[in-house]
């Protein structure tokens, strides 16, 4: 007689804490336009569920990853620059947002 093997399923309760996803947002020190070499303050404190911030200025420069939601940057040439904020929350979840900064002479 042939033996039949029946798998036995055992259920384990697994509880995972759901971390809220980060949401990136930022404000500028004032409305566009800005002047060449003017220090512009970028404020990402309106971002939620965020632990770390990194700024990309689209002029070839970027900030180090930091837990400070603010940054200061100036542009050395006129143009329109798409500035991006990358906000990182728990479990390396990310949120990005971009805004155009207009720089005139």
The answer as to whether 12 is a domain residue is: no
Number of domains composing the chain: 1
Burial class (CB in 10 A: 0-12, 13-18, 19+), 75: buried
Residue 83 to residue 37: CA distance in whole angstroms: 16
Confidence band (pLDDT; 50, 70, 90) for 30? Answer: very high
Asked if residue 85 is part of any domain, the answer here is: yes
pLDDT (tens digit, 9 = 90+) per residue, 41-72? 999 999 999 999 999 999 999 999 999 999 99
- Report yes or no on 11 lying in a domain: no
Do the domain assignments include residue 1?
no
The CATH number of whichever domain residue 72 belongs to comes to: 2.60.40.10
Q: What is the average pLDDT value for the chain, to the nearest integer?
A: 89
Query: Degrees (nearest 5) of the Cα angle 70, 28, 37?
Result: 90
pTM of the model: 0.80
- Longest CA–CA span in the chain (Å) reads 93
* pLDDT score for 87: 98
Assess if residue 21 is contained within a domain.
no
Does 100 map to a domain?
Answer: yes
């Amino acid at each position: 007689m042939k033996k039949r093997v029946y798998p036995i399923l055992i259920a384990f309760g697994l509880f995972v804490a759901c971390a809220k996803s980060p949401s990136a947002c930022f404000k500028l020190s004032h409305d566009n336009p800005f002047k060449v070499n003017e220090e512009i303050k970028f404020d990402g404190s309106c971002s939620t569920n965020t632990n770390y911030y990194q700024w990309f200025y689209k002029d070839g420069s970027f900030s180090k990853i930091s837990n400070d939601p603010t940054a200061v940057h100036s542009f050395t040439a006129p143009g329109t620059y798409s500035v991006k904020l990358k906000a990182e929350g728990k479990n390396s979840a990310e949120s990005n947002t971009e805004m155009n900064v207009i720089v005139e002479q």
